[in-house]
Amino acid sequence: MSSDYVIGTNPLEGGTGGGFGNPVMNKQNNVVIMDWMTHMILMGKGFQVRAGTITTPLVGDVVLTDTAAEFCVDAATGYMVIPMSMFLSVRLGTGTLHEYAVKSVDAVSSAGTAFVPLPLRNRGAAGGTAAAAATTARVGAAGGVTVAAELATTTRRHWSWANPVAAGAGNDLILPVWEPLRPPAIVGAGCLYVQVAATGTGPSYYGSLDYIENVTSALV
């Protein structure tokens, strides 16, 4: 521990023998408190779903279509997903009338290519294997992930953007980032999904979705 901190054992690992660690304080007697999401990541509860690689971006849907998503995370019964952020990097903004959205429904996805969620806390080169996610995920270009039909009574819209006019490629595109101040909690069985689409030609993009997972009973 740094000499700047004078009291406390490792609070994340519970101290020696699995007991509770002491509070950590600095030399000004300030208690060191981390935010809850950072704590969850250090406990191995943070994961990422990503879409596209450096050589192969995904190409979005034509046009935004009901039940069709680009990537998603599913929480089975007994688990909860709390999103932290969603990033889209539009590589080629072809097409017009771009529409992007993050939504959730009370049913897991039913089709698309399975994706193993990446742990946000790795173990390093010699640290063993990071804990696997209990949640599952899917990724599929051009709306290749099938989710429950959108209804005003069951589908929650968390973030969305659409350009107001039929602008050409490269015009009127924002930085598509969602970092919720107060994120929703998707209780299983449920699905959090991302849609990316345009008219004429789908935009090519790279995407990522970071989230916290935990057993529902541990949080509520």
Are 21 and 64 in the same domain?
Answer: no
Q: Which of 97, 80, 69, 82 is nearest to 37 (CA)?
A: 82
Say whether both 14 and 55 belong to one domain: no
pLDDT in tens, 64-121: 999 999 999 999 999 999 999 999 998 888 888 889 999 999 999 999 999 999 999 9
Task: Establish if 40 belongs to a structural domain.
Answer: no
Based on the domain organization, do 77 and 100 belong to the same domain? yes
Whether residue 62 is contained in a domain is answered as: yes
The string of pLDDT tens digits covering residues 90-104 is 888 888 888 999 999
Range of the domain at 155: 47-219
Residue of 117, 51, 54 whose CA lies nearest to 86: 51
Q: Answer yes or no: do 169 and 201 share one domain.
A: yes
Number of domains comprising the chain: 2
pTM of the model: 0.85
Tokens of 56: 């192969």
Residue 39 resides in a domain:
no
Least-confidence region, from 1-10, 35-44, 152-161: 1-10
Per-state percent for the chain, helix, strand, coil, to nearest 5: 10, 40, 50
Nearest to 116 by CA among 134, 139, 87, 136: 136
